[in-house]
Every structure is written in structure tokens, then in C-alpha cells.
Amino acid sequence: MSLVEIMIAIAIVSLTFLAMMSLVNSSGQIHSDASHRTIAHNAARQVLEEMRGTNFHEILSQYNSAGAKNTFYVTGLPPGPWTGTWTNPITGTVEPRTDVQGKVFLPENSTGRIDEDPSGSTEMIMLAKELGLPKDLNRNNTTNDTGLYAVADGSLADALKILPVKVEVRWRSAGGQYSNVKIMTYIRER
């Protein structure tokens, strides 16, 4: 074998080795992303199950935009974009967090009430579309009732029979971009 043939063989082996290392690195990132998605999906499902186990009329006050359970921290995920609180499992105290990954969204209007056909901010209109609104949420055969459902104190919640909910978990992935899992559903009065 000549020196040129040896150099070509080394180059081929080096390129093959680099390709294999890149493949190993990519599979590690894919595994990490899949693991994060599983954790996020399970956390969102757990929040929905907690909501379903809560008295229907208490869901409104606990999970609305001002509610104590509106945001949640997910152990095992990288930081998220929201500010909220969490209960420290060691001390049992409620502490502020600036890296919260989970959030509950209800179709609230600017007055804190739930409308069957929400309008207002672009964010609210997009949420309404995601939740499949307009819908007959009080089962009176119309889909345009507005401002009837008090969210803050639940005082008019007796009219509400179905509550559209979105639970989203968002975290910063390895590439610096946000990844997310969203679950949209309806919780009905029992």
C-alpha cells in the first residue's frame, strides 16, 4: 500500500466515525425530547384529572387566570416561560417561581367571565378557536350567551354546564426553542 492509499483509507474511516458520532448525538437528543414530551403529557393529564375531581363550580375559581392552581411546575422538565407559584415538597410552603412550565387556560373575557363566543384579544380569539367555540355551554340551545358566567366567585356558575379547558405545558428544549404539549377538553357538570 502506498502512502496515498493509507491517507484515503484514514479519511474514509474518519468520515464514517464522524457520521456515527453525529447519529449517536442525534438519537440522544431525540430520546431527551421524547422523554420531555412524555413528562409534559403526563403532567397535563394529571392536572385535568385533578380538575375533574374538583367540584364543578370550584373549578372556575381555582383554575381561572387569577386562581391559585392556574399555573403549575413540572419536575423533570427544563424551565418554562410563565411566572407562578408552586408548593415546595420539602418545606410544604408556597413559593414564587419564574420558570413555571404548566398553565390552565379558560375562555375568559376581559371582565373575567366565560362567554360562549369569546371576542376581545387576539389571544382569546385563538384560544376560542382551539377550544372549538362557539358552543352551547349552558345547554339553552344558543351559542351566543355572553358575560353570564362569573369566574372569580362562581356566583353565576349554576348556568354553566360545560367548561372548555386547555392545559398547556411548555419548556425550553435543548436547541433553545420552546416545545409544548397542549390538551384541550371539556369538563361537564356532574
Per domain, the residue ranges of the chain are: 3-188
C-alpha cell recorded at residue 117: 363566543
Rounded Cα distance between 183 and 165, Å, is 8
Higher pLDDT, 51 or 100: 51
What is the reported pLDDT for 175? 77
The conformation of residue 69, written as its DSSP 8-state character, comes to T
What percent of the chain lies above the pLDDT cut of 90? Answer: 26
Q: What count of other Cβ atoms lies within 10 Å of the Cβ of residue 66? A: 11
* Phi, psi (rounded to 5 degrees) for 38: -65, -45
Cβ proximity of 86 and 70 under 8 Å: no
Q: 25-40, pLDDT tens digit by residue? A: 666 566 578 899 999 9
The conformation of residue 165, written as its DSSP 8-state character, comes to E
Q: 146-161, pLDDT tens digit by residue? A: 766 544 454 544 577 8
What is the reported pLDDT for 104? 94
Number of H helices, E strands in the chain: 3, 8
CA angle 51, 47, 41 (to 5 degrees): 140
- Side by side, the strands of the sheet bearing 178-188 are 71-72, 102-105, 162-172, 178-188
Q: For 100, what's the count of Cα atoms within 13 Å in the CB-facing half-sphere? A: 19
CA angle 152, 158, 53 (to 5 degrees): 75
Q: Is the pLDDT of residue 141 over 90?
A: no
